[in-house]
Amino acid sequence: MRFRTQSSPHVIPAHSVGGVMQQVLMALVPGTLAMTWFFGWGVLVNVLLGVLFAVAFEAAMVAARKRPVMATLADNSAIVTGWLFALAIPPLAPFWVTLIGIAFAIIVAKHLYGGLGYNPFNPAMVGYVVVLVSFPREMALWPAATTLPESPLTLLQSLQTVLTGSLPGAQEWDAVTRATPLDAMREGLVSGRTVGEITASPLFGTFTETGWEWVGNFFLLGGLYLLFRRIIHWHIPVAVILGVAIPAGFFWLLDPDSFASPAFHVFSGAVIIGAFFIATDPVSASTTPLGRILYGAGIGVLIFVIRTWGGYPDAVAFAVLLMNMVAPTLDHLTRPRVFGRSRGGPPPGDGHA
Amino acid sequence: MQLHRFHGGLKLADETDASTAEPVLVMGVPAKLTVPLGQHIGEATEACVQVGDHVTKGQRIGQSKGYIAAHVHAPTSGKVADIDLYPVPHPSGLNAPCVVIEPDGRDEWGDARMEPWLDWDTRDLRALRQRLRAGGIVGLGGAAFPTAVKLNPRAGQRIHTLIVNGAECEPYISADDMLLRTAPEAVFEGIRITARLLGVERVLFAVEDNMPEAMRALTETLPTELRDLIELVSVPSIYPTGGERQLIKVLTGQEVPSGGLPADLGMVCHNPGTFKAICDTVIQGRPLLSRIVTVTGPGVKHPRNVEALLGTPFADVIEAAGGYAEGVDRLVMGGPMMGFAVHDDSIPVIKATNCLLATRPQDTPSPGPVMPCIRCAECAAVCPAQLLPQQLYWQAKAKDFDAIQDYGLFDCIECGCCAYVCPSNIPLVQYYRYAKNEIWAREKERQKSDIARERYEFRQERIEREEREKAERLAKKKAAVKNKENDGDKQAAIQAALERAQKKKAARAEGSEKNSEKGTGSETNGEETSTTNDTRDGDDR
């Protein structure tokens, strides 16, 4: 009797790229729903548009590169990129912001570098930074954190706003949008107020009172799920959070009037989603255990530095992109010790004789 | 006992229950035995019988001349029907030299049988080692390294610890498990012989924690006088604990140096089946003629362990386990992680055949298309050699063979953990095998070209030397000729001078005393000039 011959291992494979990405998408659901609850239907509209655009551009690029379109789309990576990008931009940003951002993310940041696995930078963050620096007005349109029933816009109105770029009826942008806590903190400190005075405004809560913290908590839930399912490892998220919290705590203890608390830094912006979902993008992150700790810590410290002394409060994207540049070097410098060798060990002598 | 943990590894589902339900079935003699001559790692073995010869059970049919080699014996009595190339179990699927025996059904031991050595512990150590060599014993864990070599440590190398590798970590395989349940006494006897040969101080007997019955059998039968020597250790079943290096790390916390051997740490590691074979050969005089094979997987009807003669076709072994189940499409020799799929079941059981695993498409689906590496580094997380498999993969792809060795290619034990966890279905181990082969080939090529270059340089040097010598000879000859000529010239000059002197004398004698000073001066000048000219002419010639 004759048989198929195939190479080992002769077992059902443990994972697939598509499956891994699917788990990431599942883990994004609670945070996305929380965000929709607090910031309105625009979040869902954006996610839908983002995913749609991302898949469309991905398919077009894969076809243009003469690769199997369906097999590539099945890796679900474009969906993750589109989804993460959509969560990063303001929920009522006009559709062309998403279109341009995603186009840049998928076409330039991903496929011009060789597609999945070959991109040195996180595509979603590249797209985000492009629209952030190109369209500062549109990128500042964050709605006030209320709850869905109190939201000034219905689902249809949100859709209309996103597609037309203007609010329905006679509503004014000023009435709908608010500064984000990070913006407010920044502006407040620049204009000479103390942290205590700034955080006394209703914009701020402590952990669970206003929308930002809740959203952070739900993304944390998803992140813990990924850790539990071993889709990601603890090194990067823990290092990012400590990288933000430790310097923030140090300066806060030194001068609590001029520096926001570590809890504010960790929960009021994109640190949680950044730590668990963005910095952990395997393609553009460091791959060795020690490298991941350094990589995550670098992102964390950069977030704190950029937020505190830099020009943008949207520090996560910049921090991630900056550390993307360092990742290959980190990998090179943090090679683990090979079994049976001393660290940095001698090359094998006649080991293969 | 304090156990240690090696990096990475996998917790794989234990699939041995099905094959351990029934006792080991001792298979009869098949209609035809195809005994491959190369059943070990090392140098080639050559046939020492002729087609048409009658051989008896245990008679040597394959003779090895090398040091790292093992003899091959006739598993039963019969006629040598053929000696030729036949398909053998090897990943390459290539044919190899085999001795085909048609059994005569009498299964007789002829005069070739070694006498039993019940008094082995009074025998000379060298004689013991020779007997193991004569028995053709190789490691029965699957790697088939000649045992006698391992039991003959290098001068100055002291072996203090003997390790029994009962960590059968691949899912499905239960050959050692069944052996330990049924014949623990023989294993202990083999350990005693080996311990005496190596002069060890302690024996660590590792059994995986998913083999409780084997452990119980060992505990019950461990002879009292061996209790100080042998320590039974239950080790966690994490793949690949059965890897020699990993097991030593688990038991002792020490790491076998890269490129080195356990003997460098004063340890030697053997499979339980090997100890049974040592016992059989030394005490009973029975060379290695058969082995226990686990026949298992969803592709066979009644998974079980059988004891099969070497040379028995796989098909017969499968038949002994109830035959194939419906829809079987893959037959693997070895375990699911490191075994290789064979394309034909007519090939024979060899010394390394520890398991035959038959599966259906639903049990081992063809992996999906190979996707790009997403650098998830799961491969690095599970690598027991602490390598960076994805870096090795990139380097193999880029054919950067210097970098890949620097990254520890030859520390890879090919356990397959990385390929198992790779979400992109990249056949990582294949890339490493490719790189290793390529490096070996280049090394061989380099050695060959080194030899060629040396030969060329030697030839070149010889030619130059010959030419130089020729030139020297010629020069000498010329010099000799010249000297002779010079000599002639001188004589002539002397002669001429003498004649001139005489003429002068005569002239002087003839007369005039006037102008005598002036005349002498001019004559002298003329002489000198002519002599100088003569010499120069001689040089030019």
Q: What is the pLDDT of residue A194?
A: 85
Scan residues 295-324 of A and list those with Cβ closer than 8 Å to B: none
- Hey, is the C-beta of A349 within 8 angstroms of any chain B C-beta? yes
CB B299 within 8 A of CB B331: yes
Q: How far apart are CA A287 and CA A121, in angstroms?
A: 14
Scan residues 193-212 of A and list those with Cβ closer than 8 Å to B: none
CB B29 within 8 A of CB B107: yes
Q: How far apart are CA A129 and CA A262, in angstroms?
A: 25
Q: What is the pLDDT of residue B499?
A: 84
Q: Which residues of A touch B370 (CB under 8 A)?
A: none
- Hey, is the C-beta of B264 within 8 angstroms of any chain A C-beta? no
Q: What is the pLDDT of residue B367?
A: 76
Query: What is the complex's ipTM, to 2 decimals?
Result: 0.87
Q: What is the pLDDT of residue B511?
A: 65
Tokens for A316, please give them.
Answer: 């996560």
Q: Which residues of A touch B420 (CB under 8 A)?
A: 9, 11, 13-14
Scan residues 98-137 of A and list those with Cβ closer than 8 Å to B: 114-118
Q: Which chain A residue has its CA at the smallest distance from B429's CA?
A: A8
Minimum-distance CB partner of B366 among A6, A16, A114? A6
Query: Is A339 close to B338, i.e. CB distance below 8 A?
Result: no
Taking the CA of residue A111 and the nearest CA in chain B, the distance in Å comes to: 13
Q: Which chain B residue has its CA at the smallest distance from A341's CA?
A: B258
Minimum-distance CB partner of A17 among B345, B419, B424? B424
Number of C-alpha atoms within 13 angstroms, CB side, residue A281?
29
Query: Is A10 close to B330, i.e. CB distance below 8 A?
Result: yes
Q: Which residue has the higher pLDDT, A305 or B530?
A: A305
Q: Is the pLDDT of residue B372 over 50?
A: yes
Closest Cα to residue B372, out of A108, A282, A26? A282
Q: Starting at the edge strand that comes first in sequence, how are the strands of the sheet with B230-235 ordered?
A: B230-235, B202-208, B161-166, B267-270
Tell me the torsion sign for CA atoms A235, A237, A242, A248: positive
Which ranges in A255-314 belong to alpha helices (H)? 262-267, 271-273, 289-309
Query: Is A341 close to B377, i.e. CB distance below 8 A?
Result: no
Q: Which residues of A touch B339 (CB under 8 A)?
A: 8, 10
Backbone angles phi, psi at B206, to 5 degrees: -95, 130
Q: Is the pLDDT of residue B531 over 60?
A: no
What single-letter DSSP state applies at residue A270?
Answer: S
Residues of chain A with pLDDT under 70: 202-210, 343-353
Taking the CA of residue A70 and the nearest CA in chain B, the distance in Å comes to: 12
Average pLDDT, chain B: 89
Closest Cα to residue B91, out of B358, B322, B395, B332? B332
- Hey, is the C-beta of B219 within 8 angstroms of any chain A C-beta? no
What single-letter DSSP state applies at residue B373?
Answer: P
β-strand pairing of B355-359 with B330-333: antiparallel
Q: Which residues of A touch B393 (CB under 8 A)?
A: none
* Sequence-ordered list of residues with C-beta below 8 angstroms from that of B479, at least 6 positions apart, any chain: none
Query: Is B372 close to A2, i.e. CB distance below 8 A?
Result: no
- Hey, is the C-beta of A352 within 8 angstroms of any chain B C-beta? yes
* Sequence-ordered list of residues with C-beta below 8 angstroms from that of A280, at least 6 positions apart, any chain: A226, A232, A236, A237
- Mean per-residue pLDDT for B230-235? 96
Taking the CA of residue A353 and the nearest CA in chain B, the distance in Å comes to: 9
Q: What is the pLDDT of residue A79?
A: 97
Q: Starting at the edge strand that comes first in sequence, how are the strands of the sheet with B60-64 ordered?
A: B45-47, B60-64, B72-73
Query: Is A7 close to B429, i.e. CB distance below 8 A?
Result: yes
Q: Which chain A residue has its CA at the smallest distance from B430's CA?
A: A7
Grouping H, G, I as helix, E, B as strand and the rest as coil, residue A171 is coil
Scan residues 244-263 of B and list those with Cβ closer than 8 Å to A: 245, 249, 255-260
Q: How many CB pairs under 8 A join A and B?
A: 187
Q: Starting at the edge strand that comes first in sequence, how are the strands of the sheet with B25-26 ordered?
A: B25-26, B304-309, B290-296, B355-359, B330-333, B340-342
- Hey, is the C-beta of B387 within 8 angstroms of any chain A C-beta? yes
Q: How far apart are CA A114 and CA B290, in angstroms?
A: 55
Q: How far apart are CA B113 and CA B99, in angstroms?
A: 19
Taking the CA of residue B93 and the nearest CA in chain A, the distance in Å comes to: 10
Grouping H, G, I as helix, E, B as strand and the rest as coil, residue A249 is helix
Q: What is the pLDDT of residue A168?
A: 80
- Hey, is the C-beta of B365 within 8 angstroms of any chain A C-beta? yes
β-strand pairing of B33-36 with B95-103: antiparallel
What single-letter DSSP state applies at residue A11?
Answer: S
Grouping H, G, I as helix, E, B as strand and the rest as coil, residue A251 is helix
- Hey, is the C-beta of B384 within 8 angstroms of any chain A C-beta? yes
- Hey, is the C-beta of A15 within 8 angstroms of any chain B C-beta? yes
pLDDT digits (tens, 9 = 90+) for B296-340: 999 999 999 999 999 999 999 999 999 999 999 999 999 999 999
pLDDT range class, residue B169, cuts 50, 70, 90:
confident
Q: Which residues of A touch B398 (CB under 8 A)?
A: none
Question: What is the CA B216 to chain-centroid distance, rounded?
Answer: 37
CB B77 within 8 A of CB B110: yes
Tokens for A258, please give them.
Answer: 């001029």
Scan residues 344-363 of B and list those with Cβ closer than 8 Å to A: 344-345, 357, 359, 363
- Hey, is the C-beta of A71 within 8 angstroms of any chain B C-beta? yes
Q: How far apart are CA B10 and CA B208, in angstroms?
A: 14
Note the pTM of the prediction, 2 decimals: 0.83
Q: Is the pLDDT of residue B519 over 50?
A: no
Residue with tokens 């002879």: B223
- Hey, is the C-beta of B6 within 8 angstroms of any chain A C-beta? yes
User: Cis peptide leading into B223, omega within 30 of 0?
Assistant: no
Minimum-distance CB partner of A16 among B405, B420, B423? B423
Q: Is the pLDDT of residue B370 over 50?
A: yes
Query: Is B344 close to A2, i.e. CB distance below 8 A?
Result: yes
Tokens for B193, please give them.
Answer: 């012989």
pLDDT digits (tens, 9 = 90+) for B233-269: 999 999 999 999 999 999 999 999 998 999 999 999 9
The CA–CA distances, whole Å, from A91 to A97, A105, A209, B154 equal 11, 19, 20, 74
Q: How far apart are CA B424 and CA B409, in angstroms?
A: 21
Number of C-alpha atoms within 13 angstroms, CB side, residue B32?
13
Read off the amino acid at residue B308: A
- Hey, is the C-beta of B327 within 8 angstroms of any chain A C-beta? no
Query: Is B380 close to A116, i.e. CB distance below 8 A?
Result: no
Q: Starting at the edge strand that comes first in sequence, how are the strands of the sheet with B78-87 ordered?
A: B33-36, B95-103, B78-87, B54-55
Backbone angles phi, psi at B240, to 5 degrees: -105, 75
Give the count of beta carbons closer than 10 Å to the beta carbon of residue A57: 22
Instruction: Annotate B319-352 with DSSP letters as a single string.
Output: HHTT-BPTT--EEEES-TTT-EEESBTTSBP-TT
Q: Which residues of A touch B373 (CB under 8 A)?
A: 117
